[in-house]
């Protein structure tokens, strides 16, 4: 009896799968596997952390153009083209009547060489105008290729891992300026790119306390 029931269930599954097609309104791809950068830009945020500051739990716009140094983040906005088309896996549930094709999240094949962060004013006694501030920033991102999640990683340690370009990432400040004043940060981004090896962009001005 159990064998008959199992055979019936398998036959039902095969029948359901054979009846599904992209003509039924499913977006069955193919979908791109990879992305390559065409431009980088930035936006500044005020972040909220978990209690031990090991994990970011939220990103908010900066109100009144002023933010505490340990809540300041530079969000990196990638613009890219996708390539490397692949057919996805069709997923379904025996209980649910919803069916969907599961497209892969595109990943980068472009390796980061270095990231230099400078500011338009003296930051503190250790970092004058134009000096590299990358060692006083963490990175947080969301990217399976680099095993990034919402936990913080020292930016220079991250670069030392020979990472590819993350799909989404942020730079978080971890040292206080000597004076309460406004700053603009310039990011120089070097990579082993497919089409472009270098990007440079500057944040909007924000007061950091």
Tell me: the pLDDT tens digits for 98-130?
A: 445 666 778 899 999 999 999 999 999 999 999
- What's the mean pLDDT in 167-178? 94
Q: Using the 8-state DSSP alphabet, how is residue 125 labeled?
A: T
What is the reported pTM? 0.78
User: Is residue 116 within 8 Å of residue 131, measured between CB atoms?
Assistant: no
Tell me the residue range of the domain where 109 lies. 2-208
Instruction: Give the pLDDT score at 40.
Output: 93
- What's the mean pLDDT in 157-186? 94
Residue with tokens 């069916």: 99
- What's the mean pLDDT in 73-97? 70
Instruction: Give the pLDDT score at 4.
Output: 41
Residue 34 vs residue 99, higher pLDDT: 34
Q: Look over the chain and give the mean of its residue pLDDT values, rounded to a whole number.
A: 82
- CA-to-CA separations, 44 to 74, 82, 116, 173, in angstroms, rounded: 5, 26, 17, 11
**C-alpha dihedral sign at 163, 168, 174, 177:** positive
Two tokens at 22?
């992209």
Residue 31 vs residue 68, higher pLDDT: 68
**C-alpha dihedral sign at 177, 182, 188, 194:** positive
CA proximity to 193, closest of 79, 83, 111, 76:
111
Q: Where are the alpha helices (DSSP H) in the chain?
A: 2-19, 155-159
Tell me: the pLDDT tens digits for 130-156?
A: 999 999 999 998 777 777 777 789 999
Tell me: the pLDDT tens digits for 43-62?
A: 999 999 887 777 788 899 99
Number of compact structural domains in the chain? 1
């Amino acid at each position: 009896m159990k064998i008959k029931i199992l055979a019936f269930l398998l036959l039902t599954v095969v029948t359901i799968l054979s009846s599904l097609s992209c003509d039924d309104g499913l977006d069955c791809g193919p979908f791109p596997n990879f992305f390559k950068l065409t431009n980088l830009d930035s936006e500044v945020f005020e972040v909220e952390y978990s209690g031990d500051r090991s994990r970011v739990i939220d990103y908010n716009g900066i109100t009144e153009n002023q933010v505490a140094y340990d809540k300041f983040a530079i969000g990196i906005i990638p613009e890219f083209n996708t390539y490397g088309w692949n057919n996805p896996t069709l997923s379904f549930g025996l209980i649910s009547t919803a069916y969907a094709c599961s497209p892969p999240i595109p990943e980068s094949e472009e390796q980061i060489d270095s990231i230099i962060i400078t500011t338009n004013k003296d930051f503190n006694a250790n970092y004058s105008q134009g000096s590299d501030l990358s060692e006083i920033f963490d990175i947080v991102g969301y990217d399976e290729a680099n095993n990034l999640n919402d936990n913080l990683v020292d930016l220079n340690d991250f670069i030392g891992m020979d990472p590819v370009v993350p799909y989404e990432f942020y730079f978080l400040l971890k040292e206080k300026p000597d004076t309460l004043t406004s700053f603009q940060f310039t990011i120089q981004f070097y990579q082993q790119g497919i089409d472009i090896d270098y990007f440079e962009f500057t944040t909007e001005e924000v007061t950091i306390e």
